[in-house]
Amino acid sequence: MRPIKFDACLPQDADFSFASAFAQRAETLGFHSVSITDHMFFIGGNYQARSPHLECYTTLAALAMVTTRIRLMQTVTAMSFRNPALLAKMTSTLDHICKGRLTVGVGAGWYKKEYDAYGFPYLSNAERIEHLAEGIQVLKCMWTEEEPTYQGRFFSIDKAYNFPRPVQLPHPPLLVGGGGKKVLRIAAAEADILNVIPPSISGTGTEVFPVDVATLVPKVTRFREQLKAAGRPVESVELSGYSNVAMAQDKSSADEMVSFIQKGSGMASPDIVRRSAFFLVGTADEARREIRSRIEVLGITYFVLVFSSLESMEFFANRVMPEFTS
């Protein structure tokens, strides 16, 4: 089995100095990576329209200069936000800035409000997924070829020279985020990592969906079948999951946190919160047990985690991580 990895998703609703301190502390605590979402803004939960929201790539470039070991990642970039040729150039340069510590996360995009506000065309689901498939081809061409050339329905390049190419060979690890059949098929053909949990279903960003961990089993099974169909070994693609962490020292406090999440998200019961793949909640013992279950049931070995504070991240690193990373 692959080594178990943990990622700390960085806060974007604060100034850069806090995000920088968060990333440096995550590195000290032994996290495998830090990640940042690629959104221009987000409305929902604690996020308001005027909440600060740091831009992804400029933030990662700055973080590369204040860290030395920890990997950097996007969770994830909507392929239709930037021309993939430009994205290839940006990520190639960023891989040089961080000395080969970049993992590139991409997806089809989903948050319609953001598209509309920024004037990005919000195409049909099928077209956005085709954007993703073509964009990955452009990225890989520009990362690996001397004279990158590609002709597709949405994107085309003609001798789009890209030097220097990425430090990592043949290219930075590629994470694909999503769970639909077509996205899983793309990931089976192209990804190094699949983040199997989608961030939303409706695209409005205002809901928290109680996606039971058990409901992901068929997706993982389908993905493994698609890997075989693509001629790739099942173990060739790492599985990751995205969860919000809410932990406490004792069961009583943990139960209060779960109840707070349940009421705030409109879920029917606290038990639904505990079963949801979007959350990792409870005491340290409960968190360790749930992580073991997700490893055994789903085969997830890369946990992308959202912490509410530095203290929460430190608690997790000290009380949960050692069982899986020692």
Check which CATH number belongs to the domain holding 110 and give it.
Answer: 3.20.20.30
Within a domain: 222: yes
Within a domain: 123: no
pLDDT of residue 204: 46
Within a domain: 147: no
pLDDT of residue 72: 98
Identify the domain containing residue 296 by its residue range.
5-78+96-117+170-325
Q: Which two three-digit tokens encode residue 9? A: 């998703």
pLDDT of residue 46: 61
Residues 6 or more apart from 39 whose CB is under 8 A from it?
A: 12, 53, 56, 111, 114
Residue whose entry in the numeric block shows the structure tokens 């968060």: 22
Q: Which two three-digit tokens encode residue 173? A: 């690890």
pLDDT of residue 210: 57
Within a domain: 129: no
Within a domain: 46: yes
Residues 6 or more apart from 270 whose CB is under 8 A from it?
A: 255, 258, 259, 262
Q: How many domains are contained in the chain?
A: 1
pLDDT of residue 48: 65
pLDDT by 10s per residue, the chain, length 326: 799 999 999 987 778 999 999 999 999 999 999 999 998 887 766 666 677 789 999 999 999 999 999 999 999 999 989 999 999 999 999 999 999 999 999 999 988 999 999 999 999 999 999 999 999 999 999 999 999 999 999 999 999 999 999 999 999 999 999 988 999 999 999 999 999 865 444 444 444 455 788 889 999 999 999 999 999 999 999 999 999 999 988 888 888 888 888 777 777 788 888 888 889 999 999 999 999 999 999 999 999 999 988 999 999 999 999 999 97
Within a domain: 162: no
pTM of the model: 0.93
Within a domain: 155: no
Bridge partners of 244? 279, 306
